[in-house]
Structure 1
Amino acid sequence: MNSIRWNRIKDKAFQVVGVASTLIGLILLAVFIGSILEDGLRRLDWDFLTSLPSRKAEKGGILTAWAGTLWIFVLTALIAIPLGVSAGIYLEEYGHKGKLDSLLEVNITNLAGVPSVIYGILGLEIFARTMKLGGSLLTGALTLALLVLPIIIVATREAIKAVPDSIREASYGMGATKWQTIRYQVLPAAGGGIATGIILALSRAIGEAAPLIVVGALAYVPFTPTSPLDEFTVLPIQIFNWTSRPDPGFIVNAA
């Protein structure tokens, strides 16, 4: 009886600690967001969104930065999503589970933890110099696609792995081929997990500054890009540039 009562006390204590930890995290997040909004909302208006960067804080805007971010987001998604989902499907559904597949699985999982600046160095050497793309949007998108591919592949594999085998067996029993089973049964069932992985991957991509700085993204661009081969800047680099300046007005712009 004492043992049962003690276990209940421990369960209750764990629940209290868990709820308290969650509340502390939410409160700190709310304070952090509130502080940013307090500093930045007074500067946020249509002129700020549609103005070019300037040496004067009160005249500077983020037009080129958000335009470059949008370009990078779209190009990275077009490159990374098809490759990542296809690789995940192959490794989980068509792989032979041999030594080579095990080696690929370990390496892909490890690549998800590689620092982003390493991908920047890789992109600089392969895309900017070897392929002679320079510091263009395409170079940045290809570099970020390499960065987020492991995340999409791992998420796709885990989502497919969670689909019950009974769904596959029922599809095969109805005469469907392997690809028909994957397309019409497995992928719809795994769609939620795959979408979550894609969202997390692209969220990381648009928040990166280090690899883009390495491949040649600029801190100041006086024009909006019109093609994938144009030079560019993005919001994280613009924020980094503003926060490094001594004028308090730029700190407000960054917020």
Structure 2
Amino acid sequence: MKQEETGRGTLYRRRRKPGEIFLLAAVYGAAYFSMFLLLGIIGYIFSRGFRMLSLRFFTSVTSAWRGTVGIGGSLVNTLYIIVLTLAVAVPVGVGAAVYLNEYAQPGILVRSIEFATETLAGIPSVIFGLFGMVLFVDVLGMGYSLLSGAATLALMVLPLIVRNTQRALRTVPEGYRNGALGLGAPKWHLIRTILLPSAMPGILSGLVLAVGRIIGESAALLFTAGSARILPRLGGGFLRNLSVLSRKASESGGTLAVELYLQMQNGEFEAAFGIGCVLILLALVLNIAMRLAGAAGRGT
């Protein structure tokens, strides 16, 4: 009897309507097409630019006078921009999401803020660049510097972090909140020990998207951070190196995306593809590092 039921179930599962077969084929086709398209793009970029990757390429700067092509200064500037932007945007974005989701009363104010964040997330980056140039470069007198660029990018990625953190917090089961509050846990203790760790995967996904946008941004940074390729000169003691690194944030600097744009403008396509390889590898490394940090945080 069981064999007959199993056979009927298997036979029934194999009988699919033509419309269902078409939809399944379309879904699987779209998935495989997207995967092969992504792999094709990455493969083409690496096939054109992998030969440029060398120690000299990573440790020198592009100079027509010296006849060198390198990304050392741009790589340092990119890391500066990532760290400075996240240092501003993450506390503000996560804090705003926690307030909107856990403290603010639902109403017109919350809906207005959520509508504003969604609208800001869709504004072209060049608009943020013009705003950052007026506010940070001219009005606040920060000049063309990595700080101005980081402040501008913080405004760009802030809506992304807020919305993703809100969605992550809403996925936490309501029973967690009720149980903790029922046991007498304070609100902040509940948020710090239960809600944020439970929502960490979604928050990290938002941070990964934010880092990807930071790495790939060029238009806004051309208006605020400039395109200098200067590599900081270290050596002479810890305090001196710390002073050099701290002054670097107030100097002009172009990121890898800006350097890629300039190389393409100059017709240096091989160097541009080499920078594209570095951008892909950098995004991959930062993605893995964030996920490992999230896993370590959940473990503790």
If the length of structure 1 is used for normalisation, what is the TM-score? 0.92
Q: Which residue is 1:36 aligned to?
A: 45
Q: Mapping of 1:1-255 within 5 angstroms?
A: 8-55=17-64, 59-218=68-227, 220-224=228-232, 226=245, 227=247, 228-247=249-268, 250-251=271-272, 253-255=274-276
Contact 2:121 2:156 in 1 (8 A): yes
% of aligned pairs identical?
33
Aligned mates of 1:169, 1:222 — CA distance in 2: 55
Aligned mates of 1:12, 1:251 — CA distance in 2: 44
Gaps of 5+ in 1: none
Per-residue deviation, 1:57? 9.9
Moved more, 51-60 or 64-73: 51-60
Contact 1:243 1:254 in 2 (8 A): no
Q: 1:136 to 1:251 in 2, by over 3 A?
A: closer
Structure 1 stretches of 4+ with a deviation exceeding 6 A read 4-7
Q: 1:212 to 1:22 in 2, by over 3 A?
A: same
Partner SS for 1:53: strand
Aligned mates of 1:184, 1:111 — CA distance in 2: 31
Cα displacement string for residues 106-165 of structure 1 (whole angstroms, at most 9, x for unaligned residues): 111111111111111111111111110001111010000000000000001111111111
Q: 1:73 to 1:248 in 2, by over 3 A?
A: closer
Partner SS for 1:96: coil
Aligned mates of 2:250, 2:121 — CA distance in 1: 28
Aligned mates of 2:269, 2:49 — CA distance in 1: 12
If the length of structure 2 is used for normalisation, what is the TM-score? 0.78
Per-residue deviation, 1:19? 1.2
Contact 1:53 1:222 in 2 (8 A): no
Aligned mates of 1:57, 1:39 — CA distance in 2: 24
Gaps of 5+ in 2: 1-12, 233-243, 277-300
Contact 1:136 1:230 in 2 (8 A): yes
Partner SS for 2:141: coil
Per-residue deviation, 1:42? 1.2
